């Protein structure tokens, strides 16, 4: 039944996307080029409607009976409405954040998804207590925005999200979380079908409708099955989402160093840095796909490692990320503490 639902979602996405393109032009849901954007022509930007429609078809066909199913779907509808309003009306950042917050609260309160406690290696269990709800909401809102931030090139957010969803499905299969496997697989099929029209040169953008929806769903699915787990296991969804989380983290570092508001837009995200390094549009997207796949493989290796092996793997990954960030200038062109240290040692 799962394969039927996936096939239905994939085919529905391919059929719905051209219809959404026509609909977007008709209602004026288009993205105009400006100095911050890489496209040079007017583009329809509510592709997320096609992704959500395809996902809904596969999801309802499967009819999952998990306790979280209704809450997740309700939160997803709220996030879709929020993204659609932003694509149509360009609502304020506060209004968009409010919609994300409401969607997260619905999943936490109605859907019953909370991080209650973790078991720290060498120390034992640590109960979050009253902080469990705000920590869970913070995770959902944070990852939702992280996917939105990387949506800067044709096919980038859709491809990275698909890779993350496949990684989540693989990890969930290892853990026996079949609801997560099914939901992630159906959503990946929906995003993959949309990618046929969104890869460079794109015929449509997913817009905030799609980026917020994918980010929201990924944040929830990455958390399911890791609610009451060891600290080592809790790191797995963070590794899987290494590309959007790293980009967001270093964007914050960059803006703090430049004394700019954290929410201030700029052209120094990961894809911008790779473009400035001389890579083409398509090469940049494929490089980031490769990074996302590496993070997914690392998550699987991490899950099978001993505690000390996992710690070593984390340290190696952090070192590699820091070097990569400094080389491409992701945190700013003059941010090179590790490279400067290596040069000092070399002298």
Q: What pLDDT is attached to residue 38?
A: 55
Q: What pLDDT is attached to residue 343?
A: 77
* Least confident stretch, 119-133, 244-258, 261-275, 329-343: 119-133
How far, in Å, CA of 197 to CA of 213, rounded? 18
208 a known binding residue? yes
Query: Using 50, 70 and 90 to split pLDDT, how confident is the model at 347?
Result: low
- Rounded mean pLDDT of 84-94? 89
Write the pLDDT tens digit of every residue in 260-300: 776 666 677 788 788 888 888 889 999 999 999 998 888 88
Residue 238 has pLDDT above 70, yes or no: yes
Query: Using 50, 70 and 90 to split pLDDT, how confident is the model at 40?
Result: low
* Least confident stretch, 15-24, 115-124, 203-212: 115-124
**Whether the Cβ atoms of residue 180 and residue 172 lie closer than 8 Å to each other:** yes
User: Strands, DSSP E only, in 172-304?
Assistant: 228-230
Residue 97 CB-half CA count within 13 A:
6
221, two tokens: 């699915």
- Rounded mean pLDDT of 56-62? 90
Q: What pLDDT is attached to residue 260?
A: 73
Q: What per-residue string of b and e applies to 325-336 under the rule 16 or more CB within 10 Å gives b? A: bbebbbbbeebb
Q: What pLDDT is attached to residue 161?
A: 93
How far, in Å, CA of 180 to CA of 182, rounded? 5
Q: Which helix (H) or strand (E) holds 32?
A: none
Share of the chain above pLDDT 90, in %: 34
Mean pLDDT of the chain: 84
Share of the chain above pLDDT 70, in %: 89
Strand partners, 43: 31
- Rounded mean pLDDT of 151-156? 85
Q: What pLDDT is attached to residue 232?
A: 46
Three-state secondary-structure class, residue 126: strand
Three-state secondary-structure class, residue 259: coil
Three-state secondary-structure class, residue 41: coil
Select from 135, 140, 183, 132 the least CA-distant residue to 2. 183
Q: Alpha helix locations (H) across 42-118?
A: 48-62, 69-89, 93-105
Specify the higher pLDDT residue, 345 or 118.
345
How far, in Å, CA of 15 to CA of 336, rounded? 48
User: Is residue 155 exposed (0-12), middle (13-18) or buried (19+ Cβ within 10 Å)?
Assistant: buried
**Whether the Cβ atoms of residue 156 and residue 244 lie closer than 8 Å to each other:** no
- Rounded mean pLDDT of 62-82? 87
How far, in Å, CA of 331 to CA of 101, rounded? 28
């Amino acid at each position: 039944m799962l394969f039927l639902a996936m096939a239905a979602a994939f085919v529905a996405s391919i059929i719905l996307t051209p219809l959404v393109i026509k609909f977007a032009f008709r209602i004026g849901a288009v993205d105009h080029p400006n100095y911050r954007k890489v496209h040079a022509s007017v583009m329809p930007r509510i592709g997320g409607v096609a992704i959500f429609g395809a996902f809904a078809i596969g999801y309802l066909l499967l009819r999952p009976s998990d306790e979280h199913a209704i809450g997740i779907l309700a939160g997803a509808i709220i996030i879709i409405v929020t993204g659609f309003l932003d694509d149509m009306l360009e609502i304020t950042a506060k209004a968009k954040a409010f919609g994300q917050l409401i969607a997260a609260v619905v999943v936490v309160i109605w859907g019953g998804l909370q991080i209650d406690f973790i078991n720290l290696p060498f120390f034992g269990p640590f109960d979050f207590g009253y902080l469990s709800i705000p920590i869970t909401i913070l995770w959902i809102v944070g990852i939702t925005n992280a996917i939105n931030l990387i949506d800067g090139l044709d096919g980038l957010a859709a491809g990275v999200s698909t890779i993350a969803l496949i990684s989540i499905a693989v990890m969930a299969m290892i853990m026996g979380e079949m609801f997560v496997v099914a939901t992630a697989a159906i959503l990946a099929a929906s995003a993959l079908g949309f990618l046929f029209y969104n890869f460079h040169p794109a015929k449509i953008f997913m817009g905030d409708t799609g980026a917020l929806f994918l980010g929201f769903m990924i944040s929830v699915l990455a958390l399911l099955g890791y609610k009451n787990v060891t600290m080592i296991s809790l790191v797995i969804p963070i590794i899987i989402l290494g590309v959007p989380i790293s980009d967001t983290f270093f964007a914050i570092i960059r803006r703090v160093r430049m004394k700019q508001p954290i929410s201030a837009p700029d052209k120094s995200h990961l894809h911008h840095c790779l473009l400035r390094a001389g890579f083409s549009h398509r090469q940049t997207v494929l490089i980031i796909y490769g990074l996302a796949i590496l993070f997914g493989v690392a998550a699987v290796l991490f899950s099978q490692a001993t505690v000390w092996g996992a710690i070593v793997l984390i340290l190696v990954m952090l070192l590699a990320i820091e070097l990569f960030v400094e080389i491409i200038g992701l945190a700013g062109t003059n941010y090179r503490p590790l490279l400067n240290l290596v040069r000092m040692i070399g002298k």
